[in-house]
C-alpha cells in the first residue's frame, strides 16, 4: 500500500461482519491495519470485530446501512478522527429477490435497492471520504462479480449493478489519478457465503470454496502501488488475476 499520513494504515470495509468482508478485514488486521468496519447486523459485526482485536490493532465498528446518508456521514466523521484513509473496500452488496427472478419480472423497488447498495452507496462513500483518501494516496477496492460480464439468467439485476460498478471504478481511476488515488474492481469468484446461498435457495453449495481462497490475491494486490494497478479489473480465483482488456 501507499505510504499513509498515520503511523498505521487505516481502512474502511463495508459488509464486514461475515463472508468475504470478514476475510478481507482479518487479512488487513494481520497486516497491521487499523480498521473501521460496517455492516447492517450490529451483533454479528461486534462479534466479528472482537475476533479481530487479537491482532493488536484498533478495530472500530459502526453498524448501519450504506444506503443511509446519515450513516455515511457518521463513517466520514469517524474517519476524520484518523485524518487519512489508506483503503476503502466497498464490499457491501445486495443480491435482490431470492429466488432470482428473470430481469423482465424483477420488482422495480427491489431492483432500485440493488442499485442503491451496489452502485450509489460506493460512489457516495467515495464522495464522503475523498479528502482522507487523497491525504493517504489511498486505494478504492470495489467488489464486483462474474455476473457483471456473464449475462446469466436470473442474475440480470445484480449483474447489471456490478457492471455499472466496474465502469464507476474505471472512471474513478481516471478522474482521481491526479490526486494520487487508485481504484480497482475485484471479482472474487463463486464463494460459499450466505449471499451465494440465497441465490440458490435449498441447494447444496458446499462445492464452492470459502472466502479464504482469495487470500493469495489480497496478499498480492494490497502490496502493489495503488496507482500502478488503478483502473484494472481482477479475478481473485483465476489463474491470471487481471481480466484481459
List pLDDT tens digits, range 101-137. 999 999 999 999 999 999 999 999 999 999 999 999 9
Residue 221 scores a pLDDT above 90:
yes
Rounded mean pLDDT of 156-164?
A: 97
* 58 belongs to a structural domain: yes
Range of the structural domain that residue 39 is part of: 10-233
Number of domains the chain contains: 1
- Catalytic-role residue among 27, 33, 55, 158: 158
- Give the span between the Cα atoms of 13 and 9, in whole angstroms: 13
* 4 belongs to a structural domain: no
Neighbours of 154 (CB within 10 A): 18
Residue 142's DSSP bridge partners are 90, 185
Residues 38-84: pLDDT tens digits?
Answer: 999 999 999 999 999 999 999 999 999 999 999 999 999 999 999 99
* 177 belongs to a structural domain: yes
Cβ partners under 8 Å of residue 146, min gap 6: 187, 189, 190, 235
The Cβ-side half-sphere exposure at 152, using a 13 Å CA radius, reads 14
Q: How much is the pLDDT for 244?
A: 52
Residue 2 scores a pLDDT above 60:
no
Rounded mean pLDDT of 147-166?
A: 95
* 3 belongs to a structural domain: no
- Give the span between the Cα atoms of 78 and 95, in whole angstroms: 28
Residue 196 — pLDDT band, cuts 50, 70, 90?
low
Sign of CA dihedral 8, 9, 11, 16: negative
Neighbours of 80 (CB within 10 A): 14
Note if 55 is an active site residue: no
Q: What's the whole-number average pLDDT of the chain?
A: 92
- Which CATH number does the domain housing residue 120 bear? 3.40.50.720
* 170 belongs to a structural domain: yes
Residue 21 scores a pLDDT above 60:
yes
Spell 157-196 as b/e; 16+ CB within 10 A means b: bbbbbbbbbbebbbebbeebeeebbbbbbbbbbbbebebb
* 166 belongs to a structural domain: yes
- Which of 186, 67, 61 is CA-nearest to residue 123? 67
Cβ partners under 8 Å of residue 202, min gap 6: none
Who wins on pLDDT, 184 or 4? 184
Q: How much is the pLDDT for 6?
A: 43
* 241 belongs to a structural domain: no
* 243 belongs to a structural domain: no
Who wins on pLDDT, 134 or 209? 134
Q: How much is the pLDDT for 238?
A: 83
Amino acid at each position: 500500500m501507499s505510504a499513509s499520513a498515520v503511523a498505521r494504515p487505516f481502512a474502511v470495509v463495508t459488509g464486514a461482519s461475515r463472508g468475504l468482508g470478514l476475510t478481507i478485514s482479518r487479512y488487513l488486521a494481520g497486516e497491521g491495519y487499523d480498521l473501521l468496519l460496517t455492516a447492517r447486523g450490529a451483533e454479528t459485526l461486534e462479534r466479528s470485530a472482537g475476533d479481530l482485536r487479537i491482532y493488536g490493532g484498533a478495530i472500530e465498528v459502526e453498524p448501519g446501512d450504506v444506503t443511509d446518508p446519515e450513516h455515511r456521514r457518521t463513517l466520514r466523521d469517524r474517519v476524520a478522527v484518523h485524518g487519512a484513509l489508506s483503503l476503502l473496500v466497498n464490499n457491501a452488496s445486495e443480491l435482490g429477490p431470492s429466488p432470482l427472478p428473470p430481469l423482465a419480472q424483477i420488482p422495480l423497488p427491489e431492483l432500485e435497492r440493488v442499485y442503491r447498495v451496489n452502485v450509489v452507496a460506493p460512489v457516495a462513500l467515495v464522495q464522503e471520504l475523498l479528502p482522507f483518501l487523497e491525504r493517504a494516496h489511498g486505494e478504492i477496492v470495489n467488489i464486483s462479480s462474474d455476473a457483471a460480464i456473464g449475462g446469466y439468467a436470473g442474475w440480470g439485476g445484480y449483474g447489471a449493478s456490478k457492471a455499472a460498478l466496474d465502469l464507476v471504478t474505471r472512471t474513478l481511476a481516471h478522474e482521481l489519478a491526479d490526486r494520487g488515488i487508485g481504484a480497482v474492481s475485484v471479482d472474487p469468484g463463486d464463494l460459499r457465503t450466505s449471499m451465494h446461498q440465497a441465490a440458490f435457495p435449498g441447494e447444496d453449495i458446499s462445492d464452492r470454496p470459502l472466502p479464504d481462497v482469495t487470500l493469495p490475491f489480497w496478499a498480492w494486490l494490497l502490496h502493489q502501488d495503488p496507482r500502478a494497478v488503478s483502473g484494472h479489473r481482477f479475478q481473485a480465483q483465476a489463474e491470471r488475476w487481471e481480466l484481459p482488456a
